Amino acid sequence: MSIADLRQEYAKHELDHDHVRANPVEQFETWFDEALEAEVEEPNAMTLATTDEVGRPAARIVLLKGVDERGFVFYSNYESQKGRQISANPHAALVFWWEPLERQVRIEGEVEKLPEEESTEYFHSRPHGSQLGAWASPQSRVIDSREVLEKRLELVSGEYSEGDVPRPPHWGGYVVKPRTVEFWQGRPNRLHDRLRYRRDDDGWTLERLAP
């Protein structure tokens, strides 16, 4: 079968103004809870797209680790490719795809670092091995072999064999503060439902987009 012939018809749900929340974060939480109930695999997995100082884009899958009135939270190495790009251009886009529900959520907004104490608290909630890995991996940097990582992990494991592992100064959290949030519901004949929340001086404006 040709790639061009791959098709999926969507017809499970509908989406209209009368059945969504006034606030997009609350609407996201509603949909996220429904993704959990539907047993979507890793519902907090999201594509994070960033650009460098000259506008060249990069995208990767990261995990959502929190959502509140500020926005959408994830954690990373500040010296990774994504960290360097966010430093150069503190704007990003997120995409969630929940296939069993035929739903997509798109978020665009500014990115800010979380307060250090919040990053530290989350870091210490991670498994011990993940804490060590944050020290061992020079994320996004070229290395000669897998053995380089294994050796670095061995060194930090010995250094922090007892007591708490401190949070690396180059590791912490970000929050994407949404400027727009779009909820996409698959519908028949490619006439999908798209509702977009757009933030302005008066709060949130809800509008329907053509598919």
108-111 contacts at long range (C-beta below 8 A, 24 or more positions apart): 108/178, 108/179, 108/180, 109/71, 109/176, 109/177, 109/178, 109/179, 109/180, 110/176, 110/177, 110/179, 111/86, 111/174, 111/175, 111/176, 111/177
Which pLDDT belongs to residue 88? 97
Active-site annotation, residues: 190
- pTM higher than 0.85: yes
Residues in Cβ contact with 92 at an 8 Å cutoff, skipping those fewer than 6 apart:
48, 49, 50, 86, 108, 109, 111, 176
CA–CA separation, 186 and 97 (whole Å)? 11
Q: Residue 22 contacts by C-beta under 8 Å, 6 or more apart in sequence?
A: 204, 206
pLDDT in tens, the chain (211 residues): 899 888 888 888 999 999 999 999 999 999 999 999 999 999 999 999 999 999 999 999 999 999 999 999 999 999 999 999 999 999 999 999 999 999 999 999 999 999 999 999 999 999 999 999 999 988 888 888 999 888 988 999 998 988 899 999 999 999 999 999 999 999 999 999 999 999 998 899 999 999 9
pLDDT at position 140 is 86
- Report the pLDDT value the prediction gives residue 142, as an integer from 0 to 100: 84
- pLDDT of 7: 85
